[in-house]
Structure 1
Amino acid sequence: MIQNSFIPFGFQYYRSPTPFRDQWEKDLSNIAGQGFNCVKYWVQWRASVSKEGIYQFDDIQELMDIAQRNGLKVILNVIFDVAPAWFYKKYPDSKMITADGSVLEPRAINCRQIGGAPGPCYHHAAAATEKAKFLSEAVKTFKDHPALWVWDLWNEPELTTGIKRKLSFDNQVCYCEHSVLAFQEWLKNKYITLEALNESWQRTYGSWEEVETPRGQGVFNDLVDWRLFMSGTLTDELRSRVETVKSLDLLHPVMAHTVPAPIFNMITAGSDDFKLAEPCDLTGNSLGSSAWSADLLISAAKGKPIINSEIHALPGNTAMKPRQPELWKMKRHILTPLARGITGFLFWQYRPEVLGQEAPAWGSVYLDGSPTPWYKDMAHLNKLVQSNKQELMQAKRRGDGIAILFSPQNQIANFAAHDHLDTYNDSLQGVHKLLHELNYKVEFLHETDVTEETLEQYRCLWMPYPLYLSRKLCNTLREWVEKGGILISECSFGALQAENGCHSYTVPGYGFDEVFGVRETWIHSAENLDHSYHQVAFESRTAIPILNVMKHSKEAETAADDKAQGSYYKSDIELQSQVKVLADFAEDHMPALTSAAYGNGRAVWFGTLLAAAYWQDGHSGTLQLVRDLLQQELKLQPNVQVSGGVRADLSEWEVEQNRGAFLYVHNEGNELAEARVTLPAVYTYAEPWFDNGNVRIQPIDSLKPSTTTLTMKVEAGDVQVFRLS
Structure 2
Amino acid sequence: MMYYGAQYYRPPFPGSECWQRDFENMQALGFTCVKLWAVWNWVEQEQGKFCFDDLDELVALAKQHGLKVIINTIPEGAPYWTDTGNADDLYQTADGQRVAYGGPANLPTAGWPGRCIDDDAFTALAARFIEETARHFATEQAVAAIDVWNEPHLEPMYDYRQNMLCYCPHSKARFRRWLQEKYGSLQALNTAWYRTYRSWQEVAPPPRFGTWADMLDWRKFWLWNMRRWLDMRVAASRRGAPNIPVQTHVAYSGILGNRIVGGLGNELGDEFELARGVDIFGLSSFPSWLMGEEHVYRHFLHSAMIAEAAHGKPFYQVELQGGAGKPGLLGGLVPTAQDVTLWNWNTIAVGGKGSVYWQYAPEPAGLESPGFGLTGFLGENTPRSKAAAECAKTLTAIPHLEHARSAKICNAVYVSRSSDLLCFAADRQESLYATGLSGAFQAAYRSSIPVRFFHQDYIDELPGSGIQTLYLPMPLVLSAHEVEVLGRFVRVGGTLVSEACPGLYREDGLLEQNSAALYELFRLRHVGIEASPELGQVEARWLENDAPFYGRLYRQVVQPCEGAQVLAVFADGAPAVTQYCCGRGRAVWFGTYVANAYETQRDVASAQAIARWFVPQGYAALRQLSVTHGAAQRIPLAPVVRLLETDSHWLLVAQNPTDAPVSVSAEFAQPQAFPAQKLSAQEADRYVLRLILQPQSGRVITWPKRRA
Task: Report the TM-score when normalising by structure 2.
Answer: 0.88
Verify: 1:327 aligned to 2:311, yes or no. Answer: no
> 2:561 matched to 1:566?
no
Aligned partners of 2:325 and 2:517: how far apart in 1? 51
Aligned residue pair count: 667
> Residue type matched to 1:239 in 2?
D
Q: Pick which of 227-236 and 189-198 moved more.
A: 189-198
- After superposition, the Cα gap between the structure-2 partners of 1:454 and 1:244, relative to the gap in structure 1 and judged at 3 Å, is farther
Amino acid at match of 2:678: T
- Residue 354 of structure 1 is aligned with which of 361, 364, 380? 364
Rounded to whole Å, the distance in 1 between the matches of 2:614 and 2:29 is: 47
Is the 1:295–1:340 Cα contact (8 Å) retained in structure 2?
yes
Asked if residue 664 in structure 1 is aligned to residue 633 in structure 2, the reply is: no
Aligned pair 1:50/2:45, yes or no? yes
Q: CA RMSD in A?
A: 2.8
What pairs up with 1:195-594 in 2 under 5 angstroms? Answer: 195-258=187-250, 259-261=252-254, 262-263=256-257, 265-287=263-285, 290-317=299-326, 319-388=329-398, 390-451=399-460, 457-499=466-508, 501-506=509-514, 509-527=515-533, 540=535, 542-550=536-544, 562-585=547-570, 587-594=571-578
Counterparts of 1:22 and 1:82, CA distance in 2:
25
- CA distance in structure 2 between the partners assigned to 1:89 and 1:207 by the alignment: 30
Conservation of the 8 A alpha-carbon contact between 1:648 and 1:677: no
Give the distance between the partners of 1:22 and 1:496, measured in 2 at CA.
61
Q: Secondary structure at the match of 2:12?
A: coil
Task: Answer yes or no: is 1:188 the counterpart of 2:158.
Answer: no
Distance 1:635 1:576, change over 3 A: farther
% identical equivalent positions: 28
- 1:283 maps to amino acid: F
Q: Where does residue 89 of structure 2 map in the other structure?
A: 94
The Cα shift of 1:639 comes to 6.0
Stretch deviating more after TM superposition (412-421 or 636-645): 636-645
**CA separation in 1, counterparts of 2:518 and 2:543?**
24
Gaps of at least 5 residues in structure 1 are: 1-5, 529-539, 552-558, 686-699
Aligned position for 1:533: none
Query: Cα gap change, 1:163/1:676 in structure 2, threshold over 3 Å: closer, same or farther?
Result: closer
Q: Which residue of 2 aligns with 1:712?
A: 682
Q: CA deviation at 1:102?
A: 1.3
What is the rounded CA distance, in whole Å, between the counterparts of 1:707 and 1:79 in structure 2? 52
Aligned to 1:603: 587
Separation (CA, whole Å) in 2 of partners of 1:456 and 1:672: 35
Report the secondary structure of 1:665's partner residue: strand
What's the offset of the Cα at 1:335? 0.8
2:440–2:473 Cα contact (<8 Å) kept: yes
Asked if 1 retains the 8 angstrom alpha-carbon contact of 2:318 and 2:355, the reply is: yes
Following the alignment from structure 1 to structure 2, what is the Cα–Cα distance between the partners of residues 468 and 219? 17
Deviation at 1:577, TM superposition (A): 4.9
TM-score normalised by length of structure 1: 0.86
What is the match of residue 722 of structure 1?
Answer: 691
Distance 2:184 2:652 in 1: 54
Distance 1:197 1:640 in 2: 55
> 2:200 is matched by which residue type in structure 1?
W
Is the 1:666–1:714 Cα contact (8 Å) retained in structure 2?
Answer: no
In 2, Cα distance between the equivalents of 1:365 and 1:244? 35
* SS of corresponding position for 1:135: helix
Deviations 1:161-206 (A, max 9, x none): 454452x4xx221111111111111112112233332232222233
What amino acid maps onto 1:546 in structure 2?
A: A
Distance in 1 between residues matched to 2:74 and 2:361, nearest whole Å: 20
Whole-angstrom CA distance in 2 between matches of 1:102 and 1:498:
32
1:488-515: CA deviation from partner (whole Å, max 9, x where unpaired)? 211111222225x322224xx2253242
Alpha-carbon distance between aligned partners in 1 of 2:553 and 2:622, rounded to the nearest angstrom: 30
Given that 2:153 and 2:269 are in contact with CA atoms closer than 8 Å, whether structure 1 keeps it comes out as yes
1:250 is paired with a residue of what secondary structure? coil
> 2: CA distance between counterparts of 1:144 and 1:619?
58
Give ranges in structure 2 of 5+ residues lacking alignment. Answer: 287-295, 630-637, 694-699, 701-708
Identify the residue that residue 145 of structure 2 maps to in structure 1: 150
CA 1:206–1:623: 2 relative to 1, 3 Å: same
Contact conserved, 1:455 with 1:480, CA < 8 A, in 2?
no
2: distance between equivalents of 1:11 and 1:351? 9
Structure-2 separation of matches of 1:603 and 1:40: 48
> In 2, Cα distance between the equivalents of 1:426 and 1:295?
15
Q: Deviations over 1:615-638 (max 9, x none)?
A: 112221112222333359x99997
CA contact (8 A) 1:565 1:621 kept: yes
Q: Does 1:614 align with 2:598?
A: yes
Whether the 8 Å contact between 1:305 and 1:342 is mirrored in structure 2 is: yes
Counterparts in 2 of 1:312 and 1:548: CA distance versus 1, 3 Å: farther
CA–CA separation in structure 1 for the residues paired with 2:622 and 2:530: 35
What secondary structure is seen at the aligned counterpart in 2 of 1:294? Answer: helix
Q: Alignment partner of 1:112: what SS?
A: coil
Deviates more, 1:183-192 or 1:452-461: 452-461
Give 2:587's aligned amino acid: A
SS at 2:496 equivalent = strand
- Paired AA for residue 260 in structure 1: S
3-state SS of 2:272 partner: helix
CA distance in 1, matches of 2:377, 2:311: 40
Equivalent in the alignment of 2:29: 34
Cα deviation for residue 81 of structure 1 reads 1.3
Distance in 2 between residues matched to 1:723 and 1:443, nearest whole Å: 22
* SS of residue in 2 equivalent to 1:31: helix
Counterpart CA distance in 1 for 2:597 and 2:114 is 39
Contact 1:41 1:74 (C-alpha < 8 Å) held by counterparts: yes
Distance 1:162 1:206, change over 3 A: closer
The whole-number CA distance in structure 1 between the counterparts of 2:619 and 2:204 is 51
Q: Which amino acid is 1:677 matched to? A: S
Letter of the structure 2 residue corresponding to residue 518 of structure 1: L
Deviation at 1:609, TM superposition (A): 0.8
Q: Which amino acid aligns with 1:503?
A: L
